[in-house]
């Protein structure tokens, strides 16, 4: 695994470790107020990043294109901002909502970009 695939898989592992640590913290403290953050970290972070990694691993030529790198950085920056912003919001700081909204839109834009990149590759006829 190399390039964008390796970057996404590394990011996926970081998300998984952070999400699991948050889950353990919630269990130990018996405070489950960060459950949405935990769920987003595990699904939007770990799972989506792993899927992106395997896609680019299966289609290495697509991963070499500049749009794949844009996809990685857009998804990484907006996703990390989304997770941190959600944590801050659920910790009782509603003032973060406008920034959280921007990160959410960025993360959605990353998924749209992935659709633009991936669908032609999987529907391409030989």
pTM over 0.85: yes
Buried b (16+ CB within 10 A) or exposed e, 19-55: beebbeebeeeeeeebeebbebbbebbbebbbebbeb
Which residues lie closer than 8 Å to 91 by C-beta, 6 or more apart? 33, 34
Q: Give pLDDT tens digits along the chain (126 positions).
A: 899 999 999 999 999 999 999 999 999 999 999 999 999 999 999 999 999 999 999 999 999 999 999 999 999 999 999 999 999 999 999 999 999 999 999 999 999 999 999 999 999 866
């Amino acid at each position: 695994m190399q390039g964008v695939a390796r970057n996404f898989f590394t990011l996926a592992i970081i998300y998984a470790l952070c999400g699991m640590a948050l889950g353990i913290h919630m269990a130990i403290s018996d405070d489950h107020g960060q459950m949405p953050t935990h769920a987003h970290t595990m699904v939007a972070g770990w799972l989506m990043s792993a899927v992106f990694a395997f896609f680019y691993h299966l289609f290495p030529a697509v991963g070499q294109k500049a749009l794949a790198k844009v996809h990685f950085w857009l998804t990484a920056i907006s996703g990390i901002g989304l997770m941190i912003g959600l944590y801050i919001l659920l910790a009782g700081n509603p003032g973060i909502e406008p920034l959280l909204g921007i990160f959410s839109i960025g993360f959605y834009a990353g998924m749209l970009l992935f659709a633009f990149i991936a669908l032609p590759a999987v529907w391409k006829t030989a």
